[in-house]
Amino acid sequence: MNTVEFYLDNALVASTGDGFVIKKNVHTPKRAGGYDLDLLYVECRICGKPVLWGNGKTSLLLHASGFDVSLLDAECMILSEGCPQCHPHASPFHLSVVRLTTITPQDLLLLSESKGSA
């Protein structure tokens, strides 16, 4: 079985036929007064179920990706393109960080109006 190792920002990642493994722990400094990254909600975009994983994995993935974690707060969440429940034999899953916002009735009216000719 071939194993390919590569660096993803500051983490050493090994790719095998079975999936990906983070081989070198990523330095995840605790931010004083900052938002706890492990409190971010993770949901499958396909089936809508929450994605649960081990303690500290959210922080590890975010720091390994090089994402600017200072931009994250309680209005953010992570969406997964599939999960072990709806795609049990697929791995890895593409993850996206999104910011949630409220939409007022006035916003819906603006969004529903036709704009342009495309």
Mean pLDDT of the chain: 79
Dihedral sign, Cα of residue 96, residue 102, residue 107, residue 109: positive
Residue 50 has pLDDT above 90, yes or no: yes
What global pTM score does this model have? 0.61
Report yes or no on 11 lying in a domain.
Answer: no
pLDDT tens for each residue of 24-49: 655 555 554 578 899 999 999 999 99
**Residue 18: per-residue pLDDT:** 66
Per-residue model confidence (pLDDT) at position 11: 67
**pLDDT tens digit sequence for 58-90:** 888 888 888 888 888 889 999 999 988 898 888
Residue 13 CA to residue 102 CA, distance in Å, equals 37
Question: Does 14 map to a domain?
Answer: no
Residue 87's pLDDT is 87
Is residue 5, in this structure, part of any structural domain at all? no
Q: Is residue 66 left, alpha or beta, with left meaning phi > 0 and alpha meaning psi from -120 to 50?
A: left
Whether residue 111 is predicted with pLDDT greater than 70 in this model: the reply is yes
Q: How many domains in the chain?
A: 1
Domain that holds residue 39: 35-106
State the sign of the Cα–Cα–Cα–Cα dihedral 34, 39, 44, 48.
negative
pLDDT tens sequence across 7-26: 655 666 676 666 666 666 55
Q: Which residue has the higher pLDDT, 1 or 3?
A: 3
Residue 93 forms part of a structural domain: yes
Residue 15 lies in a domain: no
Task: Quote the pLDDT of residue 117.
Answer: 67
